[in-house]
Structure 1
Amino acid sequence: MQANINGSTMPVLEMQLAPGEAVITPHGELSWMSPNITMTQTTGGPNGGGFMNSLKRVAGGGGLFMTQYQATNGPGLVAFAAKVPGHIVPVDIHPQRSMLVHRHGWLASTPGVNVSVALQQSIRSGLFGGDGFRLQRLEGQGRAWIELSGELTRYNLAPGQTMLVHPGHVGMFDQTVQFSITTVPGIRNKIFGGDGFLLVALTGPGEIVLQSMPLPNLAHALLPYVGAEAGGGAAASTFVGSMLRS
C-alpha cells in the first residue's frame, strides 16, 4: 500500500492498493477510485466487534456504517478529499499507542485500527450544535489518516504539564494525555451560555496537536454574511446549523 497526500490547502489522500489490500473509511468519504476497487459496507469494526462496536463508534461522533475499499484483479487507486481547508495527517497506531481525535477527525485507516468513543460530554452550547464535546479513540494495529482543519500546532507536554484549550481547537493527542472539561470563572460567554468559559484541560505526558480553524468557529464567523445573502435568519440558521452538526 502506498499513500500520498497531494495538495496544500485542500489536500487529497490518494491510496495505491496492491491486489487484495484494503482500506477502511467512515461511510460516504469516497472522492474517486479506479474501476477494480470493490466496495463493501459493514457495521462491525475492522477486527470484528459486531453491532456493539458500531454503537461505540456512533457515540464518538462517527457513523453506523463503515466502507471497505479493496483492490481486486490487479492494483487499484482510491482517493479521499479533505472537506475543509487544513491537513491530512498519517498516524501509526499500535498496542503501545492509541490516539484520541476530534469527533470527525478519522478519515481512513488500514484494517486493524478500531474506532470507538473516548468521551461524550454534554455542553450547554450552541457552538457544538447541541451535540456536546466528543472524542474518538483509535486503537489496534495499523495506520490511520486524520483530517484536521486550518493550521496545526504541536506540543509535547511533560508529565504534569497542562494546556487549557478551547474545545473546538482540540485536534488529536496521545493516549497518555489526561483530559477533562474545566471552567474558567469570571467571564460570561454568550456562545456557551451562563457564567464561565469552558476549556479542555490536557495534561501530559504526551503529544497534543491543535487545529486553528474548527468548523463550528467558521460557521459562527460566517453567520452575519450568510444572513445577508440568504435574505433572513431562517435560511442562515439552517445553513449554519448544518455546518455545526457536520
Structure 2
Amino acid sequence: MQDVIKGSTMPVLEMQLAAGESIISMHGELSWMSANIQMSQTTNTGGPGGGGLFNTLKRAVSGGGIFLTQYQAQGSPGLVAFASKVPGHIVPVDIVQGRGVLVHRHGWLCGTPGITPTVALQQSFRGGLWGGEGFVLQRLHGQGRAWIELSGELCQYRLAPGQTMLVHPGHVGMFDESVQFTITRVPGIANKIFGGDGYHLVALTGPGQIWLQSMPLSSLAHALEPYLARDGAAATAEGVGIGGIVGGMLRNQ
C-alpha cells in the first residue's frame, strides 16, 4: 500500500493498493477509484474493539454514520482517491495501541484496517452556527495509519506536561490522546458565532502533540454571511456565486 498526496491548495490523497489490500473510510468520502476496486459496507474495522453495537452507535453519534466503507483491490493493483473538501492539508498519522488521536468531526478521510473511529466528545453551544451541531470530536484508535484533512494552514505544537493552549473550537484540528481537553467559557464577552452564550474556548493541556487549523468552516461561513441572500431577498451576482460555493462546501460536510 502506498499513499500519494497530490496538489497544494486543494490536495488529493491517492491510495495505491496491491491486489487484496483494502482501506476503510466513512461513507461518502470517495472521490474516484479504478474499476477493479470492490466497495462493501461494514461495521467492523478489523481492529481490537472495532466491532460491537456500542462502538457502532458511538461512531454514529460522532457524525460518521453506522456503516464504514471498505475498498479492496480485486485481482490486480488498484487506486482509490479522496479529495479535500476545503483548502488545506492532508496529514498521515500512525496510530498504535495506547496512542490514539482525537480529530475534528469531519477530519478523518480514510485509514488502514485496524483503525477504529468512535465519538470522543459532543458538546452543544447555544445559538449561532454551532447551535445545531456543537463541538464534536472523533477518537481514532487501534493499530494502523490514518489520513486526516485539516483546513487552511497548519500549525503544530508539542505541549509539555501541564502546559495549556486555549484554542477556539473551530481551530482544533487534531491532538494526541494523551492531551487533556476541557471546554471553558469566557463570560460577559459576546461572540456572534456562538450567539449570546459567552466565548467558548478549548483548553488543551499536555503532554502531547496538537495540530491546529487556520480556517474553520464556521469562521468562513460567518465571514461570507453578508454576501448570502436571506429572507427571500434577491441576491447579487456576487452573492449567488459565493452562496453556491459555500452551499456546496456545507452540503459536503
Shift of 1:146: 0.3
The structure 2 residue matched to 1:54, chosen from 53, 56, 59, is: 56
Matched, 1:243 2:250: yes
Q: Superposition RMSD on alpha carbons, in Å?
A: 2.2
Helix, strand or coil at the partner of 1:10: coil
Question: Which moves more between the two structures, 117-126 or 223-232?
Answer: 223-232
Structure 2 distance, partners of 1:245, 1:19, is: 30
Structure 1 distance, partners of 2:229, 2:46, is: 43
Structure 1 distance, partners of 2:83, 2:251, is: 20
Residue equivalent to 2:9: 9
TM-score (norm 2): 0.89
Matched, 1:122 2:124: yes
| 1:44–1:51 CA contact under 8 A, matched in 2 | no
Evaluate the alpha carbon distance shift between residue 4 and residue 129 of structure 1 in structure 2; reply closer, same or farther with a 3 A threshold: farther
Give the AA of the match of 2:183.
I
Q: Deviations over 1:44-74 (max 9, x none)?
A: 3343413332211121221222110001111
The structure 1 residue matched to 2:234, chosen from 231, 236, 240, is: 231
TM-score (norm 1): 0.91
Structure 1 distance, partners of 2:140, 2:120, is: 9
Residue equivalent to 2:35: 35
The structure 2 residue matched to 1:68, chosen from 67, 70, 87, is: 70
Evaluate the alpha carbon distance shift between residue 187 and residue 240 of structure 1 in structure 2; reply closer, same or farther with a 3 A threshold: farther
Shift of 1:218: 1.1
Helix, strand or coil at the partner of 2:198: strand
Give the AA of the match of 1:37.
I
Structure 2 distance, partners of 1:175, 1:245, is: 27
Structure 2 distance, partners of 1:190, 1:70, is: 46
Q: Deviations over 1:114-144 (max 9, x none)?
A: 0001001111132225111110000000000
Q: How does 1:194-209 map to 2 (within 5 A)?
A: 194=196, 196-209=198-211
Question: Which moves more between the two structures, 44-53 or 207-216?
Answer: 44-53
| 2:193–2:218 CA contact under 8 A, matched in 1 | no
- In structure 2, runs of 5+ residues without a counterpart are none
- Count of equivalent residues: 242
Structure 2 distance, partners of 1:144, 1:170, is: 17
Identity among equivalent pairs (%)? 69
Give the AA of the match of 1:148.
L
The structure 2 residue matched to 1:213, chosen from 190, 215, 238, is: 215
Give the AA of the match of 1:176.
S
Residue equivalent to 2:99: 97
Q: Deviations over 1:59-107 (max 9, x none)?
A: 1221222110001111111111001100000000001310000011100
Helix, strand or coil at the partner of 1:127: coil
Residue equivalent to 1:140: 142
Structure 2 distance, partners of 1:122, 1:53, is: 21
Give the AA of the match of 2:129.
L
Give the AA of the match of 2:89.
H
Structure 2 distance, partners of 1:113, 1:12, is: 21
Structure 2 distance, partners of 1:241, 1:186, is: 35
Give the AA of the match of 2:24.
I
Structure 1 distance, partners of 2:250, 2:201, is: 21
Q: Deviations over 1:18-37 (max 9, x none)?
A: 11100001111111111111
Q: Deviations over 1:171-198 (max 9, x none)?
A: 0000110001001223122321225311
Provide runs of 4+ in structure 1 moved above 6 Å: none
| 1:131–1:245 CA contact under 8 A, matched in 2 | no
- In structure 1, runs of 5+ residues without a counterpart are none
Helix, strand or coil at the partner of 1:58: helix
